[in-house]
Amino acid sequence: MDLNKLNRMANQIAANFEANGHDAAVDATAEHIWKFWDPRMKAQVFASDMADLSPIARDAIQKLVADAKAA
């Protein structure tokens, strides 16, 4: 899948949870991506520089990357 589309999707997910506050939005965004994104989609965005992600989406992706490394 196109990285620009993945970034747009992650930013849209993050925007949907933004009203919950930063930390809750990061957790909810990370949970959504973990549950519903194909492993190939996650791998692609995990390997990106994350420059086009919103702060919430970027923090969610970084949380998932850290969790994957810890596992």
Cβ pair 49, 2 in contact under 8 A? no
Domain count for the chain, please give it: 1
Domain hosting residue 32, numbered range: 3-70
Token digits of residue 27: 């957790």
Token digits of residue 69: 């490394």
Q: The pTM is what? A: 0.95
The pLDDT tens digits along the chain (71 residues) read 899 999 999 999 999 999 999 999 999 999 999 999 999 999 999 999 999 999 999 999 999 999 988 97
CA distance linking residue 59 with residue 54, whole number of Å: 8
Helix ranges (DSSP H) in 1-71: 3-17, 22-36, 39-46, 55-70
